[in-house]
Structure 1
Amino acid sequence: MQSVIHNVHPTIDKYPATLRILHWVRAVLILGLIAAGFTMTELNDEITAKFDLLYPWHKSFGVLVFLIVLAQLAIRAVSRLPAPAPLPAHEKILSHVVHVTIYALLLIVPLMGYAMSSSYAESDGVFFFGIHVPELLPKNNDNFKLFQLLHKTLAYSLLALITLHVAGALKHRFLDKDPRTDVLPRMI
């Protein structure tokens, strides 16, 4: 059965170069965004770099990740992809659920960040490397608090799933007896 996010062909050994590059760029950006988000929320409000540097860059790179994910999904839809690795049924299901959920969160987390910035009464909005992104939501600090909770909770959920994704790839590379389950070469 073909997945919604896969156009599989058994003869393809690797993902297209564009998808591999975007995957690794996105991975680095996501880890940086999570680290920056954690740092920003822990810093004292008196530190000017928090609002003058960290928040604007976090927002810009968050928009960039959102756009990268949209590009990845579009490329995936028209590309020939490797067939799924020959995994046990429960691992295939887990892998599929984790991948689909990661992609969903890669879209939802930035949207919740945008909603946070758009609805916060004191926010100057979201800028994408100097370009102002229109604010579509009314200023409402109660909504801001909800979006803030969702952004934070879903970001940590994304981090947990990324950890599971990496652990799965390492398990298949180093612990599985069947070398056909090693999925890492397909993404390098």
Structure 2
Amino acid sequence: MSDTEDGRIERYPPALRLLHWVRALLVLGLIAAGWTMTRMSDAQVARYGDLYPWHKSFGLLVLMIVLVQLAIRARARLPEPPAALPRHEAMLSRVVHRTMYALLVVVPVMGYSMSSTYTHSDGVPFFGLPVPELLPKNDHWFAVFQWLHRVLAYTLLGLVALHVGGALKHRFLDRDRRADVLPRMW
């Protein structure tokens, strides 16, 4: 199952490509929703009645998608970095990708932990279904998880910007067209 006659894999498997783009849209939506809802006043009903439950549900969905992606990646043959990439860029790409995957697991877990420990939380829903809260209620730990969720989400946003910027650089600025990584994910 290779894309070239010499056995090299040129594109990611279709399932990974689809999950990548679905997850990308969800993460950007979650960051926008998180930013919006934390700036709303407590008096606005939509903050707790709509945005928080949807944010929690979609955050858990992203976690599930990432776990599926990691399982597929562990079993699939994946493309190597383009030979035209300078060594330092290939290494930076590897570090950014691994860190993004780690944060795509840790950020939702911190969000779950934050909601689970908050003494006034109405639970962690997954599209209307209650998810068991495994951590004891403790507002001190809530504050720690809240801080970690926020800081790590912004860190993830920075890495996403670097990831997108790198893909666009390779697509439009690199002289060697073989450095273009975007067709691998289409």
What's 2:76 paired with? Answer: 79
Which sections of structure 2, spanning at least 5 residues, go unmatched? 1-5
1:168 aligns with 2:166: yes
Q: Please give the secondary structure, in 1, of the residue aligned with 2:130.
A: strand
For residue 22 of structure 1, the aligned residue among 7, 19, 25 is 19
What's 1:131 paired with? Answer: 129
Equivalence map 1:19-98=2 (5 Å): 19-86=16-83, 87-98=85-96
For residue 116 of structure 1, the aligned residue among 95, 114, 117 is 114
Letter paired with 1:92 = A
Seq. identity, %: 65
What's 2:3 paired with? Answer: none
User: Once structures 1 and 2 are overlaid, which stretch shifts more, 142-151 or 84-93?
Assistant: 84-93
Letter paired with 2:108 = P
Which sections of structure 1, spanning at least 5 residues, go unmatched? 1-8
What's 1:13 paired with? Answer: 10
For 1:175 and 1:26, how far apart are their aligned partners in 2? Answer: 26
Letter paired with 1:29 = L
Letter paired with 1:58 = H
What's 2:101 paired with? Answer: 103
Q: What's the TM-score, normalizing by structure 2?
A: 0.95
Letter paired with 2:105 = L
- How far off its partner does 1:34 sit? 0.1
Count of residue correspondences: 180
Q: Please give the secondary structure, in 2, of the residue aligned with 1:138.
A: coil
For 1:37 and 1:56, how far apart are their aligned partners in 2? Answer: 11
For 2:20 and 2:82, how far apart are their aligned partners in 1? Answer: 18
- How far off its partner does 1:107 sit? 0.2
Alignment RMSD (CA, Å): 1.0
Q: Please give the secondary structure, in 2, of the residue aligned with 1:81.
A: coil
User: Once structures 1 and 2 are overlaid, which stretch shifts more, 78-87 or 169-178?
Assistant: 78-87
1:157 aligns with 2:168: no
- How far off its partner does 1:130 sit? 1.3
For 1:150 and 1:125, how far apart are their aligned partners in 2? Answer: 19
User: Once structures 1 and 2 are overlaid, which stretch shifts more, 57-66 or 129-138?
Assistant: 129-138
Cα deviation per residue 1:112-157 (whole Å; 9 max; x = unaligned)?
0000000000001111111111111110001000100000000000
